[in-house]
Every structure is written in structure tokens, then in C-alpha cells.
Chain A
Amino acid sequence: MLDNPAKPLVSVRDLKMHFPIYSGLLRRRVGEVKAVDGLTFDVMEGETLGLVGESGCGKSTAGRAVLRLYDITGGQIEIDGREIGNTPQSQLRDLRPTMQMVFQDPQASLNPRMTVEAIIREPLDEHTTLTPMEKREKVAELMDAVGLNRKFAARYPHAFSGGQRQRIGIARALALNPKFIVCDEPIAALDVSIQAQVVNLLEDLQEKFGLTYLFISHDLSMVRHIATRVAVMYLGKIVELADRETLFAAPLHPYTKALLSAVPEPDPALARNTNRIILQGDVPSPSNPPQGCNFCTRCPAVMDICKQVEPEYREVKPRQFAACHLYNET
């Protein structure tokens, strides 16, 4: 297998990202949205960690917080042996080349007033001392690497299709030879046919440059295709983290089970026999999470203890972590 358990490239401990809520006449702080509330995971060198969960569970916030695009509320983040959790933004600049991000909406993540060349060159301008000719050459190489025609360098983003724009975004992320790339739903805004192209491109680039991905997505079949390990998030917390095969074959947490049962089955004969677990109700508000387990309001296997005590996130089986009382009792 790709993963080498000896060396995590990124290790996140108890990451918290709370956004304050101000309200009332005096704009007093009345509470906080616990978008990410205590994440702990490692990303091994060269692996792809898939991060899945439904809308609004804090996946994107987690990805951005790991790269310190936010000032986090608490916790430690270690990337490539350096602790960045509490480093001030001004000192993070030197570390930016190691960690990059591919954004969800390729339309919004490219400045409409810059040419493709200027967009891909921006990281080079910021962090290298190459001459303009060398930068030009490097930009052309990057465009080749992501499968863009280098003749389009002088065009503006609006002249490209969604898939091409996402390639521009990927080329920009690759410009500084990063080790770690957070892919924040890079395929969610694309057509299905283009999704496969982009995912294959990401895989090829991983092989070529030895990249490590944190792949955020809500598309379970894509995650199953690209990820080596998968973490499932619910309401700001990881409920389960396991190797891809284990997670898809034998999920532990009831939420993972429900999520997996929602994946459409292409074979109609099999589809008729699947037992869908339909969750009732809505995701509770992250500003006011329920007492005990976050999932207790919708869990099909809820017990009394779930409504009082928050389950501990621990290694239930070898290499399979979960936070559920079902496995704490036995």
C-alpha cells in the first residue's frame, strides 16, 4: 500500500474553529458556531485522506483551518514537522509553499481580471526569484502538466470551461512544488464527465510529484475511487476514520452506515434489495449542538447514554477509529 504508517506529514490534534455570533443592539457576543469542534487525524506522506460528510458539517472549514486560512480557536496542527497552530499569519508566509489548496468553485477562485499566466505566476512572484523568462517557462510547464494548451496563457478565466478553470486552479496550487494539497470539493461544481478527468489528473499528479492530499468531498463514490483512508464528519466532529476498504465494507458508526446506504446502486436488481437507512430530521445547529453525542437526535441506534455523555473518539478496531457508545459498552 501507499501509506507508510511511520511518518505522518500532517497531524492535527483537537482542532477547533468556532465562529462568534454577535447579536442585539450592542452587538454582544451571544454564542458561537462550532463549525469544527475537536478534529484529530493524521495524513500520512503520499496518501489521500478523504473527508466526507453532508453539507454544513464543517468539511471545508476544517480544510481551510488546517492551512491556517483562519485563525483557529484551539488545537495543534503540525505540517512537515512544524507546528503552525498558533503561528501568527505574518510568519506563516514562508510555510505557504509547502501547503496549497484547490478550491471548490473554479469560477470564483480565479481573479477575473488576471490572465491565466498571471494567475499561475502569482505564487512564483511571491516566493521565488526567477527571472521573467524562467517564470514564463515554468508557467508553460505547469500548464502542460495539468493538460492545458500553453497557447491559452494570455486569455482570461471567463474564456474557459469549468473543467479547464479547475485545471488552472490546480496548476496554481502546483506552482511551488507543495507537499500537501487540500482539495476542497474540487469536483463538486463540475460535470460528471469532467469530474473523472479532474480526479484522474489529481491522481496522476500525485504519482508524479509525490503529493499528499486532503480530499474533501460529499461524493462517496469519488472518495472511494481516490482516497486511501476516509474520515467521516458529522457536525464538526469526526465520527469515523478508517482505511477505505474497511470503511466501505464494514462501517462501525451508525452515521457512516446511513451515509453509505445512500450511495446509489447502479444495478437495478441489487438496488431493489438494498436496505436504505433513512435518517429522520435535520442536522442540529452547530451553534447549539445537542448534549451528549452530536448524532443522538437522528441516530437509529440511540441509547440513553448517548443523550448524556459524549462518546470518546478512539481506535475501536486496529486502524479503525470511531466515536460511538455502541462500541464502548462491549
Chain B
Amino acid sequence: MTDDTLEMTEKPRSQWLDVWDQFRTHKGAVLGLGFLISITLFCTVGPLIWDVDAGKLNIRNKNIRPIYMALFDSGAKVSWGNPMGSDNLGRDIMANIMQGGRISLAVGWTAMILALLIGTTVGVLSGYFKRLDGLLMRFTDLVLALPLLPLLLVMMLLFRDPLRSTFGPEQGIFILIVTGIGITSWMQTARIVRGDVMALKEREFVLAARSIGTPARRMITRHLLPNVMSPIMVSATLGLATAIITESALSFLGLGFPSDFPTWGKILFDSVDRMTSFPERVIWPGLAISLTVLSVNYIGDGLRDALDPRIRGL
């Protein structure tokens, strides 16, 4: 390659273009991104097309099997009006999964981002500032030692009614659940980030930045945060999964959203007792949860590789 072509290839490339190029080489990540986009579209745009009220009861049309059951069993009760079947109260399952996906995804993302923000902040502060370390880490241990479910129960009892009256029943519960999950799942991130920051802090490039006179806040944003990106990314993907699952568990215990308000986890738990006769009611929401979590894991994996210039160069 001559020098001219070198200049041609190097100058106009932005960093994000390189990141995208590397990301595309990760097959799983691209597949995961595709799935995540389609399931998000399914949940957000879907209800506009499949215009059926998820909560509408239709006792005459109860216990309809999904449309594909006609292939195996000619006597099965199927109907094009309910392509994925209906439940024991005649509610359309497809509309429920769309509606539930909206809530589950929203809870998952928001709680994960909240947990990540708290965890990264606590981790970076206690790793970088020695004086804060003892205090913040003992606080982390304290929160870690708290039992999650009783804590959430107490939170529900204390804050449900005031939040409901200020934000409305759905918004209020949403805020409560997101905060509840967020503030009880940041501890792992904080610990991992703290450890990494402590190791990075002793590296020579941080010393070099100190000799330049870089103040602490820019030291953190410029030198430390980009270098702890990989563990943060990993805990983000794991965090999304735990948030969706915790929300399901809460709904199951009756601490989550009200009963006429579907989420993936709740559909799943509602159908457990009729699982043997109607397996599809468990399979579809379950599949939605697992595939979302899996695809987010793959995306995180690909993104972590793509953001590391050492790997990107190869």
C-alpha cells in the first residue's frame, strides 16, 4: 500500500464506523440485535396492527388452541380470531404477549440502566477515592445482606398508595417496581467496577495523566470508564435478564402489577397450573423471555469486542 492510499483509508473513518464493522463480524451479536429489534417492534408496533384489547374477556371463546394445533389434531378448537389461542377467560394470548412484552421490556431496560448507573457510580467512586472506599463498600455489603423480597414487600406497603395517587395506578407501580429492582441489584456491578478501577488506577497511563494535571472527574471519564467498559457491559446484559425475571417473580407473588395487567412473567405464572393441557401458554412467554435475555447477552458480547480497539484492530 502506498502512503496516499493509507491516508485515504485512515482519515475519513469515524470511530463508530469501526465499531460497527467489528460488531458485524460477530454472528451471534448480529442475530441477537435482529431478534431484539423484531421483538421490540412486535411489542410496540404490533398492537397497532393486531388491534385487539388484551384485557377483553370473551367467555364463549375461552381455551382456544393456537392455530398450528389444527395440523396435529383435526378436532382442536382453533380460530383465526385468536391465532395464538386464548386463555381460560377468553383473552387473546397474542395481544397479551404484545402488551406484556411492552411492560417487561420497559421494566427490564429501565431497571437495568438504573442498577448500572448506581453500581458504576458507587464502584468508580469507591475504587478511585480511597477515603470513600470503606464507607461505600460497607454500604454495598449492607444492601447485599438485605433480603430482596421482604424489602420489596415493605416498599410496596409504604409507597404503593402515595405513588399511585401521584402517578396513576400503572405509572406508580412501574416506578415502584423499577426502583425496587434497580436499587437491589447494583451491588455486583459496583464490586466488579471497584476492583477494575483499583487495578487501573495503578497503571502508568493514569500516572501519566496525573503528571499532566488531569483533574479527577476527567480522569474518570477519559481514562477509567472506557477501560471498565467490558465488565459493565457484561453486568448490563446479566442485569437485564435478572430484572425481567425478578419482575416476573414479583408479579407471581402479587407484589407487582395488578392482575389485569399482563407482563411476560405474569402470563407465564398464570398458565403454570394448566401447563399440561395448554403447553403453548407457557412456551410462548417463556420463549420470549429467554430469547430476549439471550439476544441481549450476545449483543453485549459483540459490543464489548467491538469497543475494544485491541480486538477491533484484528
Contact = CB atoms under 8 A, between A and B. Distances in A.
Interface of A: 64, 67, 69, 92-94, 96-97, 99-101, 103-105, 108-115, 122-123, 126-127, 151-152, 154-156, 158-159, 169, 172, 176
Interface in B195-224: 203-205, 207-215, 218, 222-223
Contacts of B222: 111, 114, 122
A114 B309 CA distance: 9
Contacts of B223: 111
Given A96-B212, A111-B226, 16 more contacts: A69-B211, A93-B213, A93-B215, A100-B212, A101-B211, A104-B204, A109-B204, A109-B208, A110-B208, A111-B205, A111-B209, A112-B227, A112-B310, A114-B222, A126-B214, A156-B313
Given A101-B211, A151-B10, A158 B205 contact: no
Nearest to A149: B3
A113 B213 contact: no
Interface in B236-290: none
Interface of B: 3, 6-7, 10-11, 13, 15, 203-205, 207-215, 218, 222-223, 226-227, 229, 308-310, 313
B214 A151 contact: no
A126 B227 contact: no
A69 B207 contact: yes
Given A122-B209, A122-B214, A156-B310, A111 B227 contact: yes
A87 to B, nearest CB: 12
Nearest to A103: B204
Contact of A154 (B13, B204, B207): B13
Which of A93, A151, A176 counts the most chain B CB atoms within 10 A? A151
A151 B205 contact: no
Contacts of A155: 10
A172 B210 CA distance: 13
A95 to B, nearest CB: 8
B207 A105 contact: no
Contacts of A127: 212-213
A103 B227 contact: no
A109 B215 contact: no
Contacts of A67: 211
A103 B15 CA distance: 27
A113 B208 contact: no
Given A151-B6, A158-B309, A64 B213 contact: no
A169 B211 contact: no
Contacts of B210: 69
Contact of A96 (B7, B213, B218): B213
A152 B11 CA distance: 9
A113 B209 contact: no
A154 to B, nearest CB: 5
A251 to B, nearest CB: 33
Contacts of A154: 10-11, 13
20 contacts: A67-B211, A69-B210, A93-B213, A96-B211, A99-B211, A104-B204, A109-B207, A110-B208, A111-B222, A111-B226, A113-B226, A115-B15, A122-B212, A122-B222, A123-B212, A151-B6, A152-B10, A156-B313, A159-B313, A172-B208
